[in-house]
């Protein structure tokens, strides 16, 4: 496994100055980022397939891994809730050793392939689900067990590894090979391999949310408004989308219960019920719903008759 090799370049690392060592580590991090670039097409294909599988249903994202890889996978999944309002019940974690392994090492858990298979059976993974298995080595029995069982159950499977031709990549329908090579500190895959995994996971999940209509014009229009900073950001988004001032945008956000997409349509003159219906009919896609609202306004030649009027006239 290339991730476990000892690099002669760093054989005297402990004799280098701290500045030299840090510089070498930073250069390695840049190389890790570059390794992801070669997998752009593979990541895009996986994201599109994931979105197609998850769209309009109850399918789940199931993240699997152990150690550093598992923790990075969990981090990616956890952040989808506040950022894109992805429901918690549609995110599942298959972590070797259980969630306890987030904070402490659970010895031997990653070697139990049968436990990985059993976890997929326990959560009832099936054809509506997407399973993302992450392992720097590509050989971790637990993670390979998860992905093999998930593939057999009909789930869409994605494998992320830093070693080519490994069981994880062979078991996954969408293999993503991140060629990060030997680490500065031999075997410390939380460094280069971990960085590449984090980038790949970030891009994969963001592209999936993009294709699911949870991003509009580069804006997080499905984010959860959970504090004052995010409320102000939501108001600014509504202003940008609907062309209204902050006061009517804030009122629309209140009427929408903090939902930015709904508020943007309300700010243009739609009633809350009509706005909700338009989003449903357009598969929760804001662009499509906005197009309908603007077409209706243009067809009716609406004139400002209330405080909402100027917003309608700018639609």
Cβ proximity of 112 and 142 under 8 Å: yes
Rounded Cα distance between 223 and 243, Å, is: 20
Q: Which two tokens stand for residue 153?
A: 């159950």
Rounded Cα distance between 273 and 255, Å, is: 11
- Given the residues 110, 117, 119, 179, the one annotated as active site: 110
Cβ proximity of 76 and 201 under 8 Å: yes
Percentages of the chain per state (helix, strand, coil), in multiples of 5 = 60, 10, 35
Query: Residue holding tokens 């069982």?
Result: 149
Cα–Cα separations (whole angstroms), residue 302 to 262, 293, 298, 312: 20, 12, 7, 7
Is residue 79 part of the annotated active site? The answer reads yes
Kind plus residue range of the DSSP H or E element containing 161: strand 156-161
- Given the residues 4, 20, 79, 292, the one annotated as active site: 79
Cβ proximity of 172 and 159 under 8 Å: yes
Is residue 183 part of the annotated active site? The answer reads no
Question: Which residues are part of the catalytic machinery?
Answer: 79, 110
């Amino acid at each position: 496994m290339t991730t476990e090799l000892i690099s002669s370049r760093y054989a005297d690392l402990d004799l280098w100055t701290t500045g030299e060592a840090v510089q070498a580590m930073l250069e390695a991090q840049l190389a890790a980022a570059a390794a992801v670039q070669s997998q752009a097409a593979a990541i895009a294909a996986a994201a599109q397939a994931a979105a197609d599988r998850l769209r309009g249903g109850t399918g789940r994202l199931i993240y699997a891994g152990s150690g550093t890889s598992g923790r990075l996978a969990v981090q990616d999944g956890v952040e989808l809730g506040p950022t894109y309002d992805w429901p918690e019940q549609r995110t599942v974690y298959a972590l070797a050793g259980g969630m306890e392994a987030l904070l402490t090492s659970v010895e031997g858990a990653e070697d139990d392939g049968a436990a990985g298979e059993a976890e997929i059976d326990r959560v009832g993974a099936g054809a509506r689900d997407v399973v993302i298995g992450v392992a720097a080595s590509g050989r971790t029995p637990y993670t390979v067990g998860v992905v093999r069982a998930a593939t057999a159950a009909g789930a869409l499977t994605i494998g992320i590894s830093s070693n080519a031709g490994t069981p994880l990549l062979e078991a996954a329908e969408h293999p993503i090979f991140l060629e990060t090579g030997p680490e500065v500190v031999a075997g410390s895959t939380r460094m280069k391999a971990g960085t590449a995994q984090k980038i790949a996971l970030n891009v994969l999940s963001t592209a999936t949310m993009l294709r699911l209509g949870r991003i509009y014009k580069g804006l997080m229009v499905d984010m959860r408004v959970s504090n004052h900073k995010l409320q102000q950001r939501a108001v600014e988004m509504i202003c940008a989308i609907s062309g209204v001032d902050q006061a009517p945008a804030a009122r629309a956000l209140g009427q929408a219960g903090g939902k930015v997409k709904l508020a943007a349509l309300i700010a243009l003159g739609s009633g809350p019920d009509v706005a909700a219906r338009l989003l449903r009919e357009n598969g929760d896609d804001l662009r499509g719903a906005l197009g309908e609202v603007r077409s209706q306004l243009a067809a009716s030649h609406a004139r400002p008759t209330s405080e909402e009027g100027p917003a309608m006239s700018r639609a």
